[in-house]
Amino acid sequence: MPLIINSQAIDPGLIEQEFSSIKSYYERTSQVSCCERDPEFLAYAKENITARVLLNQEAERNGALPSEDEVNEAVAKLKEEHGGEDEFYMKAGITRDQEELVQKDVQASLRVDKFLEEKLGSNIDPNEDEMRAFYEENIKEFMTVEEVSASHLFKSLSQAESRSGLYEEMREFRRRALAGEDFEAMAKANTDKEEKDVELGYFKQGELMDEFEVIAFSLEVGDLTPVFSSHWGFHLAKITGRKPSEPEPFDSVQDEIRELMIAEDRQEKTKVLVESLKATAEIDDSDDDGDESAECAGP
């Protein structure tokens, strides 16, 4: 039996889509694997869908419809944000003759926004002391990203007579570097990179191949990596610099702090509103055990 909210039956596909989105987020951030938390994610999905449906229902009863110009402007902005009209249709998985569905969805979204603006009142206007307190309490949210720099010696498997021979050659380069030979000069003289550029400069995690970053970010300045391999060949690198993660100056993130405080305040007020709507709503979720196929669905 589907989730029913004030006599409105919710398409199970919407719940499964929300569930997949939530699970995918947690998997990307390495907080879960496989199906171990699927029941929890399914509950989150139903909570999110319920909140959106209740707000939409209340907006339909008490919210003013946006004008045609407002809807058209919002649709045009949506397409622009997705890389243009063709890219928007492709990502949305719809065709041009379904434009009316887009207009309808945007109209409903704008009506909810207008309803919330009227219901929740004007945004808070935090002063500097309040923003500084927020900054101190949430300092981990305002840290720079750690970076390291390195010199890199690369030898290509495609140019080698044998893998084992190339590996022994790289081990010899490492022994020479550990004995005191200038690594950058050795790398420039022996790299298989056509441009002979062995300086990688500063980089953040996620910018280079994982095999290299796992090693590089675990070492200190002056350390030499072990010889390691990738699909392309063998690598050897020396860490030449490190920029540790540190708090960004308050003045540089003040605008961001204000926006975060406003967003958190509106989120909390919206949560209170949703709870009040739940208190008087008729919600039937008889299928408490959930849909097994949805619970074990991939991202």
For position 98, what pLDDT does the model report? Answer: 87
Beta strands of the chain (E only): which ranges?
4-5, 8-9, 147-156, 199-204, 228-229, 233-243, 283-284
> Does 147-243 carry CATH code 3.10.50.40?
yes
CB 89 within 8 Å of CB 61: no
**In sequence order, which residues have a C-beta less than 8 Å from that of residue 245 and are 6 or more positions away?**
143, 144, 145, 146
The sign of the dihedral angle between the CA atoms of 32, 37, 38, 42 is negative
287 has pLDDT over 70: no
Query: Parallel, antiparallel, or unpaired for β 4-5 and 8-9?
Result: antiparallel
**Distance of alpha carbon 203 from alpha carbon 199, whole angstroms:** 11
CB 219 within 8 Å of CB 225: yes
DSSP state of 224: B
In the chain, CATH 3.10.50.40 sits at: 147-243
For position 31, what pLDDT does the model report? Answer: 56
Q: Residue 196, SS3?
A: coil
pLDDT, tens digit (0-9, with 9 covering 90-100), for 153-187: 999 998 888 999 999 999 999 999 999 999 999 99
**Distance of alpha carbon 238 from alpha carbon 184, whole angstroms:** 8
Q: For 119, how many CA atoms within 13 A lie in the half-sphere containing its CB?
A: 23
* Paired strand residues for 224: 238
In the chain, CATH 1.10.4030.10 sits at: 4-122+265-295
Looking up tokens 């449906």 gives: 53
For position 33, what pLDDT does the model report? Answer: 62
259 has pLDDT over 90: yes
Q: Tell me the two tokens of residue 44.
A: 């989150």
- CB atoms under 10 Å from CB of 11, counted, come to 11
Compute the mean pLDDT over every residue in the chain, rounded to the nearest whole number.
90
What is the rounded average pLDDT of the residues 126-135?
97
In the chain, count H helices and then E strands.
Answer: 11, 7
Question: What percent of the chain stands above pLDDT 70?
Answer: 94
Q: Residue 152, SS3?
A: strand
Domain 4-122+265-295: CATH superfamily is Porin chaperone SurA, peptide-binding domain (1.10.4030.10)
Q: For 52, how many CA atoms within 13 A lie in the half-sphere containing its CB?
A: 14
- CB atoms under 10 Å from CB of 152, counted, come to 22
Question: Is the pTM here over 0.85, yes or no?
Answer: no
